[in-house]
């Protein structure tokens, strides 16, 4: 007569599933059964495998004591702000205006001109594109990333942060490149929006267990998207990298507890939106004046 199977009791259905996988990895088959007690499950194994099974589960529990099988995901509602379509509309308007040479040249980013004091080109260049394909790519990806960033930080704050980060990326690129290098495009702003999203887990660094995994996971996702979108042949990888870095820096600052509370206030977003508009109008006014 065959010996009766051995029952290994577990505290939950989830633990029973984890144990069954651990046992199966060692070639031990088990049968999952529900017991009469509430929230109690058992695994039935052949008696000749009892000692090996218990040792396997002991090692499994010891190894995973401080590493949950499924770490808790951040409980944060994802919000998409359709105000990003206003940014896309402005891109299209400036692209049409940029078809006129007298409009395009004063706004193009020029390293030599920036080093000579024409700082406004760092802003105006983010609104110009080489062709319709260049515009479409930045508008499509930028609408998605910027919409999520605006939903996280607020429309005015998000637009201002992404715009400043993109301009800072252009400025740093210009200061690093000798000669008369030129460039244009909103890709620095797009990568800045990605950096803003990557930084949103920073507030959880001190508030949650295993918080560093959330932060590193967010940064890893941002880096993978950067590799996918920001290192295409013919693109300016340095501007993209600087945009991502400045966006993450600004996002980290805005994610500080005190600033996060302020950014949720309506008047702060209104003021930030007004500054964003000023940083669109004033640089272009200076470009036309000196062009």
Complete DSSP assignment for 134-178: HHHHHHHHHHHHHHHHHHHH-HHHHHHHHHHHHHHHHHHHHHHS-
Residue 66 CB coordination number (10 Å)? 8
Residue 215 has pLDDT above 80, yes or no: no
pLDDT at residue 47, as a whole number: 85
pLDDT at residue 1, as a whole number: 37
User: Does 213 or 154 have the greater pLDDT score?
Assistant: 154
pTM exceeds 0.75, yes or no: no
Q: Which of 93-97, 176-180, 202-206, 250-254 has the lowest mean pLDDT?
A: 202-206
pLDDT at residue 256, as a whole number: 79
* pLDDT, averaged across the chain: 84
Contacts of 189 (CB under 8 A, 6+ apart): 126, 142, 146, 162, 163, 165, 166, 243
| pLDDT (tens digit per residue) in 102-144 | 888 999 999 999 999 999 999 999 999 989 999 999 999 999 9
DSSP annotation of 290 reads H
């Amino acid at each position: 007569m065959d010996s009766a199977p051995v029952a290994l009791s577990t505290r939950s259905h989830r633990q029973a599933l984890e144990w069954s996988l651990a046992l199966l990895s060692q070639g031990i088959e088990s049968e999952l059964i529900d017991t009469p007690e509430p929230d109690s499950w058992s695994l039935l194994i052949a008696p000749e495998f009892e000692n090996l099974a218990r040792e396997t589960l002991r090692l499994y529990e010891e190894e995973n004591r401080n590493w949950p099988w499924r770490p808790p995901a951040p409980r944060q509602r994802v919000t998409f702000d359709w105000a990003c379509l206003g940014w896309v509309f402005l891109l299209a308007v400036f692209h049409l205006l940029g078809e006129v040479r007298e409009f395009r040249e004063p706004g193009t980013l020029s390293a030599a001109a920036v080093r000579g004091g024409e700082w406004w080109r760092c802003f105006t260049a983010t609104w110009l594109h080489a062709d319709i394909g260049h515009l479409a790519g930045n508008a499509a990806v930028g609408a998605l990333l910027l919409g999520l960033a605006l939903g996280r930080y607020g429309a005015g704050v998000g637009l201002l942060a992404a715009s400043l980060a993109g301009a800072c990326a252009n400025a740093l690129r210009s200061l690093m490149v000798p000669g008369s290098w030129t460039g244009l495009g909103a890709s620095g702003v797009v990568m800045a929006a990605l950096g803003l999203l990557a930084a949103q887990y920073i507030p959880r660094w001190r508030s949650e267990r295993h918080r560093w995994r959330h932060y590193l996971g967010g940064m890893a996702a941002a880096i993978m998207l950067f590799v996918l979108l920001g290192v295409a042949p013919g693109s300016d990888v340095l501007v993209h990298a600087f945009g991502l870095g400045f966006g993450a820096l600004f996002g980290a600052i805005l994610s500080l507890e005190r600033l996060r509370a302020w950014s949720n206030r309506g008047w702060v977003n209104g003021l930030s939106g007004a500054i964003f508009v000023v940083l669109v109008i004033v640089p272009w006014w200076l470009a036309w004046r000196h062009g």
